[in-house]
Amino acid sequence: GHGGDDRLTGGAGDDSLFGQTGPDWLWGGAGDDVLDGASGIDHLNGGAGDDILSGGFGADLISGGDGADTLDGGADDDRLDGGPGDDTLHGGTGGDRLDGGPGNDELYADSGPDRLDGGSGDDTLYANTGGAVAAVDCGPGNDVLFINPYDEPGGVSNRQLIEEGGVRGCEQVIAEPPVGDPFRGMKYLAPDEGGERQGTALDDNLLGGIGPDRIFGGPGNDIIWGRRQADAPSSASDLLDGGPGDDTIYGGPGPTRIEGGPGDDAITGGTGANTIDAGSGRDVIRLRGRARNVVDAGAGDDDVQAVAGTRNVIRCGPGRDKVTAHRGDRVAPDCERVRRRP
């Protein structure tokens, strides 16, 4: 997508759709798709297949559709509907509404106050992740609800919810300390002053602060943001390193160095000056800032798109690469297919 209100539709295969700023509409269609709304109030629908959907910033509406889907609301107050299939739903930050739909689902109340509805099937609901929940309805089936003990954060309020009748249809209620999704990495929000953070070997979601950040995703398919708010004013410089894996990286408004590492990465430069080393793999690189950008796409069949700016330096490296550039951009001879914007 671009900076406005975009409508992106996938085909019958395995698609990757990325919105940008603005309220976007993403439809994956058939296949095992990856949908990322980025910032804005977005509508995401995975369609048929085992899809991965991330809302990002904004109050999003996310529907998994048929299949075993993974939904992550991200920041703000989101609505998640898993649809038919054995789905995994994470609310993210904000007061979210999670509906597993038909199937044996897992629902995580990451922060609150969230509302959880398991739907039909044998569901597992986690209300012991440290935040209070507003209401829980496990739905038909043999369901399990985990809540915090009294001595854990949120434990008192979640127990009080049961005593006041805010929990329905849960065959088993177990008081245990917080647990994590074994297939999911950390979710980290940097403080305003910035800082340094190292991700895990799993799929992490790492968000930078307003100050200078050094963020290292490590192994796994990570999502890294240079700023928690894409348009936050700042001249602080960031280092964003995805590491091995198929990473999604968004630069911030200040000077940013982005390293994709091995893997098929999706890199979006920030509005400031970006230095991007995509690394090996089939990478997609988008330049949206009007400042000078320097890009080394690395080995692999890469796609470089200069959305804005006219003083970019683009080098492609080994592979059959495609570049969309402006007339004022310097494009190296090793870029096989070059189209110039007027």
Which tokens belong to 246?
A: 């198929």
Give the pLDDT of residue 184.
Answer: 61
Give the pLDDT of residue 175.
Answer: 83
Domain parsing of the chain, residue ranges:
7-175, 187-341
- The three-point CA angle 2-245-126 to 5° equals 85
The single residue listed with the structure tokens 């230095």 is 275
Pairwise CA distance, residues 304 & 195, whole Å: 30
Give the pLDDT of residue 139.
Answer: 96
Dihedral class, residue 166 (left if φ above 0, else alpha if ψ from -120 to 50, else beta)? alpha
Residue 289: half-sphere exposure toward Cβ, Cα within 13 Å: 26
Give the pLDDT of residue 204.
Answer: 82
Give the pLDDT of residue 150.
Answer: 66
Q: What is the pLDDT of residues 156-172, one digit of tens each?
A: 677 777 777 889 999 99
| Spans in the chain with pLDDT lower than 70 | 1-4, 20-21, 129-132, 150-156, 178-193, 228-234, 308-310, 342
Give the pLDDT of residue 251.
Answer: 85
Residues in CB range of 141: below 8 A, 6 or more apart: 104, 118, 120, 121, 122, 123
Residue 157 main-chain phi, psi, to 5 deg:
-70, -35
Q: 66, 84 in Cβ contact below 8 A? A: yes
Give the pLDDT of residue 230.
Answer: 45
Which tokens belong to 21?
A: 């700023």
Computed over every residue of the chain, the mean pLDDT equals: 85
